[in-house]
Amino acid sequence: MSVPAPIMANGSGKDPSTGRFIAGNRCGRGNPFGRQVNKLRQALLHLISDDEFAAIVRKLVDAAKAGEPWAVIEVLNRTVGRPLSGSTATALDGELSEEVTDLSRLTLEEVQALSRILRKLHPPGEESVE
* pLDDT (tens place) for every residue of the chain, 130 residues total: 555 555 445 556 677 788 777 776 666 667 778 889 999 999 999 999 999 999 999 999 999 999 998 999 898 888 887 766 665 556 555 555 555 555 666 677 777 777 777 777 776 665 544 4
How many structural domains comprise the chain? 1
Give the distance from CA 86 to its chain's centroid. 16
Whether 19 is covered by a domain: the verdict is no
Contact, 36 vs 21, CB < 8 A?
no
Whether 107 is covered by a domain: the verdict is no
Our CA dihedral for 46, 49, 53, 54, rounded to 10 degrees, sits at: 160
Print the domain residue range for 83.
49-91
Whether 85 is covered by a domain: the verdict is yes
Helix (H, G, I), strand (E, B) or coil at 25: strand
Contact, 26 vs 4, CB < 8 A?
yes
Exposure on the CB side of residue 84, measured as CA atoms within 13 A: 8
Helix (H, G, I), strand (E, B) or coil at 14: strand
Whether 97 is covered by a domain: the verdict is no
